[in-house]
Amino acid sequence: MDALALEATGGKKTVNGTAVTAPLLTQAPVKRKPAKKAKKAVVFFEVEILDAKTKDKLCFLDKVEPNATIGEIKSMFHKSHPQWYPARQSIRLDPKGKSLKDEDVLQHLPVGTTATFYFRDLGAQISWVTVFLTEYTGPLVIYLMFYFRVPFIYAPKYDFTTSKHWVVHLACMCHSFHYVKRLLETLFVHRFSHGTMPLRNIFKNCTYYWGFAAWMAYYINHPLYTPPMYGEQQIRLALIIFLFCQIGNFSIHIALRNLRPPGSKTRKIPYPTKNPFTWIFLLFSLCEINMCLPVAFFTLVGFIQMTVWAKGKHRSYLKEFRDYPPLRSPILPFIL
């Protein structure tokens, strides 16, 4: 009550008839919360996707976030066109241009807030793991069929017989070792920058691997087969070369695997390491070695295909990396 009286009298109080000024009661200062910073308005994109051939509009995506990737845009496009799953799509800035990468970010591309992309159908796709498993399982099984001389391959009297030449058994072991190694590398070593390839390509690849495996196996395991003209010296030298190449091939696959962290599509320039087999990177962009007439023809065709791949890989390295070593050749030092 005294406090209320003081407020009413302006802070004065009478004591023994004398007016005494009392201190005024004041409220504690109220702390003000700092004003929140205004959030920047997000500018959403509008994305239209046209057919690269006909220029017909296939899809319009509204309110696409600026940090959306091409991979995410493919997933949105897939929802409206289920027949074209993301791996089957090629999204481009120009109808005849190169496909954009899945990791490309929308706001970093040379487009406005209303972006126009062009779509091409890449056709049915198949994973690279499935491709390699199919390619390498075929030769392994086919060769063993000839080695064990299953019926309907040679004359009936040779069904399930074995060759009397030890080099034939050695060849089977080497052939089987090579393809078992490739199957295991596919499952546990290789890391692929592209998840899929066109399904139609697998028929071409399998024709090469399966067809040559059957052609070579037929002659090597034939009942009338004769050993090499230079005898055991030639066989031993060939075995040493084979083992050397297999170890080198595996070393290169490990070196290439270590260039790409798990779950990423990072690309780096391969350089020599402490492993002497990697020293070939001083002169090569790509290095692969493969070991009767069918064998020679198989090697020739394989070398031609490897040359095509090596040149393509070499060109991509030169475009992507400005500091790519200038002395490297695609497959043969200073020649090719």
Domain ranges of the chain: 45-123, 126-320
Q: How far apart are CA 301 and CA 248, in angstroms?
A: 21
Fill in the DSSP letter of residue 59: E
Residue given tokens 């070398």 in the structure block: 303
Is 120 strand, coil or helix?
Answer: strand
Residues 6+ apart with CB under 8 A from 23: 11
Q: Residue 268 in contact with residue 324, Cβ under 8 Å?
A: no
Q: How far is CA 226 from the centre of its chain?
A: 44
pLDDT of residue 4: 42
Is 235 strand, coil or helix?
Answer: helix
Q: Hey, how many other C-beta atoms are within 10 angstroms of the C-beta on 78?
A: 17
The per-residue pLDDT string of the chain (336 residues; one tens digit each, 9 = 90 and over) reads 454 444 444 555 555 555 555 554 555 566 666 666 656 677 899 999 999 999 999 999 999 999 999 999 999 999 999 999 999 999 999 999 999 999 999 999 999 899 999 999 999 999 999 999 999 999 999 999 999 999 999 999 999 999 999 999 999 999 999 999 999 999 999 988 778 999 999 999 899 999 999 999 999 999 999 888 778 888 898 889 889 888 888 988 888 888 888 777 777 777 777 777 776 665 544 443 333 556 666 667 777 777 777 787 778 777 777 777 777 777 766 666
- What are the φ/ψ torsions at residue 31 (nearest 5 degrees)? -75, 130
pLDDT of residue 17: 53
Nearest Cα neighbor of 119 from 53, 63, 75 is: 53
Q: How far apart are CA 102 and CA 90, in angstroms?
A: 10
Read off the tokens for 299.
């090697």
CATH fold of 45-123 reads Ubiquitin-like (UB roll) (3.10.20)
Q: How far apart are CA 94 and CA 86, in angstroms?
A: 19
pLDDT of residue 85: 95
Identity of the residue numbered 206: C
Q: How far apart are CA 309 and CA 297, in angstroms?
A: 19
Q: How far apart are CA 209 and CA 136, in angstroms?
A: 7
Pairing mode of beta strands 45-51, 114-121: parallel
Residue given tokens 């090579």 in the structure block: 178
Q: How far apart are CA 143 and CA 214, in angstroms?
A: 6
